[in-house]
Amino acid sequence: MDGISEVFHARFVEHAYPVHTHDTWTLMIVDDGAVRFDLDHHERGALRSQVTLLPPHVPHDGRAATPLGFRKRVLYLDESVLDAGLVGAAVDHPGLRDAALRRRIHQLHGTLADPGDELEAQSRLSLIVDRLRRHLGGGAVRPAGPTVARRLRELLDERVSDGLNLTEAAGLLQVHPTHLVRAFTAEFGIAPHQYLTGRRVDLARHLLLAGMRPADVAAAAGFYDQAHLTRHFRRMLGTSPARYARHG
């Protein structure tokens, strides 16, 4: 996905990373245990309550801080996601105590497990990067107005089946991706990906009632596959597409 080069989940007990570097930003949350690491010759630690951000091209190592080891989830973010001028701030303060940011990262990991929710993943990443910029002193992205939100809704309405990712929408509207997410949510009280999913479920309902098979409805309504359709359909309507078609 644009902005993310790799996702890595692991549990380590005895393994210790030697000193190394990455050409990406390393965004880590710890789910169990704790991590000790040296970053640019300064000893640091990563706890469950923190978000850890390691900048590109800066040497660091890593090891368990307790005999029970640790479990972590990592997003390797493209170097271009954050300004190079923010590297120094990340070296000085790699540990961020921000419960909302940690929750958003956790949610993004869940979204990335589903290949059918690209718009949701991009939206979540955009808000995460905006919050990281604030922590590092890079400033937040300026808000956009309701006109941009309405234009994005028109694009989503035109592309219910084909879909529209956040990068493409930002290019078409000449607006920063974070602008789009914040403006749309402020104007309509729902995130862009939630709106698009709702429109797709509505389309799926009509197609099912018209007699189309659930397997064919998934593709026609813009879902990745039938399982993707069923998951969102059940979440919104409390029943499966097949049962809805029989009793709708």
The secondary structure of 103-142 as a DSSP string is: HHHHHHHHHHT-TT-HHHHHHHHHHHHHHHHHHTTS-PPP
pTM for the predicted model, two decimal places: 0.83
Mean pLDDT score, 143-158:
86
pLDDT score at 143: 59
Q: Cα 160–166–170 angle (5° rounding)?
A: 110
Closest CA to 177 of 53, 3, 28, 52: 3
Average pLDDT of the chain is 92
Number of H helices, E strands in the chain: 10, 9
**Whether the Cβ atoms of residue 136 and residue 84 lie closer than 8 Å to each other:** no
Residue 84 is given by DSSP the state G
pLDDT exceeds 60 at position 140: no
For 82-131, the pLDDT digits (tens) are 999 999 999 999 999 999 999 999 999 999 988 778 899 999 999 999 99
> Could you tell me the two tokens for 237?
């309507």
pLDDT exceeds 70 at position 226: yes
Closest CA to 132 of 121, 123, 141: 141
> Could you tell me the two tokens for 146?
């309701």
Percent of the chain with pLDDT over 90: 79
Pairwise pLDDT comparison (4 vs 144), residue with the higher score? 4
pLDDT score at 117: 84
pLDDT score at 196: 94
Contacts of 119 (CB under 8 A, 6+ apart): 163, 164, 165, 166, 192, 193, 196
Burial class (CB in 10 A: 0-12, 13-18, 19+), 37: buried
CA-CA distance, 8 to 221, in Å (whole number)?
32
CA-CA distance, 29 to 228, in Å (whole number)?
27
pLDDT exceeds 70 at position 139: no
User: CA separation (Å) from 96 to 52, 54, 115, 236?
Assistant: 6, 11, 29, 35
For 155-214, the pLDDT digits (tens) are 999 999 998 889 899 999 998 888 889 899 989 989 999 999 999 999 999 999 999 998
Q: At what angle do helices 146-158 and 192-209 cross, to 10 degrees?
A: 30
For 10-60, the pLDDT digits (tens) are 999 999 999 999 999 999 999 999 999 999 889 999 999 999 999 999 999
Instruction: Please provide residue 117's backbone torsions phi and psi, each rounded to the nearest 5 degrees.
Output: -115, 55
pLDDT score at 115: 77
Mean pLDDT score, 240-248:
87
pLDDT score at 2: 87
pLDDT exceeds 70 at position 144: no
